[in-house]
Amino acid sequence: MKTALLLTSTLMLASSSPLFAQEEEPDSIVGSFYELEDLVVVAEKPIVQTDGAKLSYNLDEDPSAKGNTLLDALRKVPMVSVDGEDKIRINGQDNFKIYVNGKEDPSLSANYKQIFKAMPADAVKKIEVITEPGARYDAEGTAGILNLVTITKNTTDGYSGSVDASFSKSQSGFSLYGRAKKGKLSMSANFNFADCSLFPQRSDNTQTYDNYASTDARYQINRLNQRVKFNYTGGGVTLSYDLSDNNLITVNTDIHTMNGYLKNNKSVFTSETFDANHNLTGSMARYANAEVVETGLSAGAAWQHNFSASGHKTVLSYLYNHSYNKLAADLTLFEHSGDITVSPFERMDTRGKNNEHTLQFDYINPFGGDTHLFETGAKAIFRRNGADSYELRGDDENSATESLSEKSALTQIQDIYAAYAAYNGKYGDLSLTAGMRYEHTRMGIEYHWGDMTDFMNHLNDLVPNAAVSYNFSSSSNIRAAYQMRISRPSLRQVNPFQQNYIPNYIEMGNPDLSSEKSNKMSVTYSNFGRTVGGNVGLEYSTIDNAITHCYYTEDDTFFSTYANMGHEKRLAFFGFLNWTIIPRMQFSVNARLTRQMYSSPEEGLGNNGWNFNYGANWNYSTASGFKFNAYGGQSTRNYNLTGYNEGWYYYGLGISKSFLKEKALTLTVNANNFLQKYNVFKSVTEIDGFKSTFSNKNSNWNVGISLSWRFGSLKSDVKKTDVSISNDDKSSVGGKAGF
């Protein structure tokens, strides 16, 4: 009788595992087994999980992710969109933070476009989108948090590892992952490599300027035809040691580097100017040879002490982050006519170094029979970001001299002191979450070159959050939430160095920027049934004094910089739906309709419009081990204060088959955006007296094959403390660097 009851319970668990499930910790099932050795019950792990405040996308369960870049994989994640210019948005906003295993990585936030293009999707196990961070998280990042999980968790002892290799039009590479345990010591290590040298990434960019304040240079057309090669190398090690039953220490380190190249005069930049009567007044063409380097290092340690009561603990953590970025470009003139003023040879070199030390203490105490939870803690971040830029000009490389007026050297200082308190409680079917975070910021700039005056500002922010939810049943609830978030300017946004490698066009930062605040309110209804489930919701957010791009002209020169010049309001309707058509076939779709409203009374600017975007995913698994996947999505026009970005779309297919015992060997074939050779993305900026149109034509279709082999028997992962450091306090607007 016990055997029959256990079999019935196991089959019920396997049949109630939808693709799109409410996220929860796995249950522990204890029972007695009698001569049931040959029974094997397999349940499909859900690809998408959500609890209303966080959504998880499990890349391990998606066959189309193999052999693709991480940027391609992000296109399929609900609430995340990647436009035709490779710009990531969460719920339509581009101000978000990037974590790796719960810890902020400054180098990824600074230049995710190039890194994610080179980073293989196989390096990430799961992508988490946290749209409602609580008081424990840093107050920065108005759109939320994008957490890349590279560590998996299982339950039994032994050893194990995996080897993955892939070859595709986007990139070729391999990854290694291993775990080992001996006594109280556990260790895991990973290594990833990807290279796209065989098929360089191709893009043709065209930018037009209409400067109505000028007669001789009324119109300008700039074109950049790029052939870029990337490679990515990354890896990390995590150790944990059980000092005693109540004390755990962990140590981890991660490092990655990305290198991009424009070589051998295969990338060409051209520029043409026209007068008010459309007569050609000047033209030039230059070869562009450049190198982009991004390197990141993270190292941390944590000590967790557990008290006698379950869940009652303290955690003390330390984290060090270092990143280095470089853009070095040589521009060599080979055609020239008319009145465009340009040096025969120019070298532009911009380098940045970021160093960050973080100390954090957390105290967690559940009480009242685990129906209430109190959390409190403190945190200190000491950040020093340096930036050095210079330009050389001359007739050739040997005779070029430094342009002292275009030289910049500075250090950005950010010291942040924070404290928080949070409460979670359950009152029958009612759940309540409330928290408050206080942050004091000491921030400024020290200039090491030029006549600019050093400055230091002090900011004080109280950041509250609250949510209440009511459970109608075990599978349905309604949730109302309020979140305040802030955003401090990044180093790129405040660096006043003028980049002018394009004639009549200058990009620079604004050292007078201040932080912005966001207030968001939402109501979400969720119902996760066995066959059909999902959620629908309504959200309203507002940002005053928003950091945004701004543009102006002086004589015949166009300037691009940043300013706290915007008011932003968004009203959004969103929803997710999953349908288990048959036990092995699922279909899911997510959609969001947003009314975008922007204004700047001081500048006399205003803009608004509707944006609609959606993503759909179909999965089917056969009893013989085949997995099929088809996906696609699109977005309509997306608005901002000074213009708009045109819509875009994507699609793809994936097939995988597992072989050998316990499906240890998996072969995957995938393809995406393969019906057209090029995708075209367009954006328009228009202010009084000036209009700019940017068109990006790129070849992002991909076809690839990958092979994955799992070996060993260890299924337990290296332990981690229950709280880890995660710094998420810099604005991501204008995060791109280089070409």
**What are the tens digits of pLDDT across the range 534-585?**
889 999 999 988 888 777 777 777 788 888 888 999 999 999 888 889 888 8
- Spatial contact of 668 and 63, defined as CB atoms under 8 Å apart: yes
Rounded to whole angstroms, what are the CA distances from 91 to 69, 289, 736?
22, 36, 20
**Cα dihedral across residues 424, 427, 432, 437: positive or negative:** negative
Is the entire prediction scored with pTM above 0.85? no
Q: pLDDT tens digits for 228-269?
A: 888 999 998 989 888 988 999 999 899 999 999 888 888 999
Q: Is residue 7 part of a domain?
A: yes
Separation between Cα atoms, residue 98 and residue 216, nearest integer Å: 45
User: How many Cβ atoms from other residues are within 10 Å of residue 388's Cβ?
Assistant: 17
Q: Is residue 736 part of a domain?
A: no
Q: Which pLDDT score is estimated for 158?
A: 62
Separation between Cα atoms, residue 538 and residue 525, nearest integer Å: 9
Separation between Cα atoms, residue 560 and residue 694, nearest integer Å: 14
Q: Is residue 596 part of a domain?
A: yes
Separation between Cα atoms, residue 443 and residue 259, nearest integer Å: 31
Domain hosting residue 464, numbered range: 2-712
Residues of the chain with pLDDT under 50: 1-43, 153-156, 715-717, 730-739
Token look-up 């996760």 returns 528
Separation between Cα atoms, residue 328 and residue 564, nearest integer Å: 30
Q: Is residue 590 part of a domain?
A: yes
Separation between Cα atoms, residue 256 and residue 120, nearest integer Å: 12
DSSP structure string for 28-58 = P-----SS-TT-----PPPSEEE-SSEEEEE
Separation between Cα atoms, residue 55 and residue 59, nearest integer Å: 13
- Spatial contact of 288 and 224, defined as CB atoms under 8 Å apart: yes
Q: Which residues of 91-106 are buried (b: 16+ CB within 10 A; e: fewer)?
A: bbbbbbbbbbbbbbbb
Q: Which pLDDT score is estimated for 456?
A: 85
In degrees, rounded to 5, the angle at the alpha carbon of residue 678 between the alpha carbons of residues 676 and 682 is 125
Separation between Cα atoms, residue 176 and residue 233, nearest integer Å: 12
Q: Give me the numbers of helices (H) and strands (E) for the chain, helices first please.
A: 5, 40
Separation between Cα atoms, residue 166 and residue 173, nearest integer Å: 6
Q: Is residue 739 part of a domain?
A: no
**What are the two backbone dihedrals, phi and then psi, of residue 405, each rounded to the nearest 5 degrees?**
-70, -15
Q: Is residue 723 part of a domain?
A: no
Which amino acid is residue 72, in one-letter code?
A: D
Separation between Cα atoms, residue 276 and residue 322, nearest integer Å: 50
Q: In what helix (H) or strand (E) does residue 687 lie, and over which residues does it extend?
A: strand 679-687
Q: Which pLDDT score is estimated for 725?
A: 59
Token look-up 């009788």 returns 1
Q: Which pLDDT score is estimated for 539?
A: 94
Q: Which pLDDT score is estimated for 14?
A: 35
Separation between Cα atoms, residue 363 and residue 361, nearest integer Å: 7
Q: Is residue 225 part of a domain?
A: yes
In degrees, rounded to 5, the angle at the alpha carbon of residue 615 between the alpha carbons of residues 609 and 617 is 170
Count of domains forming the chain? 1
- Spatial contact of 131 and 53, defined as CB atoms under 8 Å apart: yes
Separation between Cα atoms, residue 494 and residue 499, nearest integer Å: 13
Separation between Cα atoms, residue 33 and residue 177, nearest integer Å: 33
Separation between Cα atoms, residue 512 and residue 145, nearest integer Å: 26
The one-character DSSP state at 488 is P
Separation between Cα atoms, residue 689 and residue 218, nearest integer Å: 10
DSSP structure string for 103-157 = EE-HHHHHSHHHHHHHSBGGG-SEEEEESS--TTS-SB-SSEEEEEE------S-
The torsion angle over the Cα atoms of residues 41, 46, 50 and 55, rounded to 10 degrees, is 140
122: CB partners within 8 A, 6+ apart: 65, 66, 67, 164, 166, 173, 175, 192, 706, 708
Rounded to whole angstroms, what are the CA distances from 250 to 147, 237, 239, 316?
20, 11, 6, 11
Q: Tokens representing 346?
A: 């120019």
Q: CA 116 from chain center: how many Å?
A: 9
In degrees, rounded to 5, the angle at the alpha carbon of residue 542 between the alpha carbons of residues 536 and 544 is 165
Separation between Cα atoms, residue 179 and residue 188, nearest integer Å: 4
Q: Is residue 452 part of a domain?
A: yes
Q: 216: domain CATH number?
A: 2.40.170.20
User: How many Cβ atoms from other residues are within 10 Å of residue 526's Cβ?
Assistant: 22
- Spatial contact of 425 and 435, defined as CB atoms under 8 Å apart: no
Q: In what helix (H) or strand (E) does residue 417 lie, and over which residues does it extend?
A: strand 408-427
Separation between Cα atoms, residue 234 and residue 177, nearest integer Å: 12
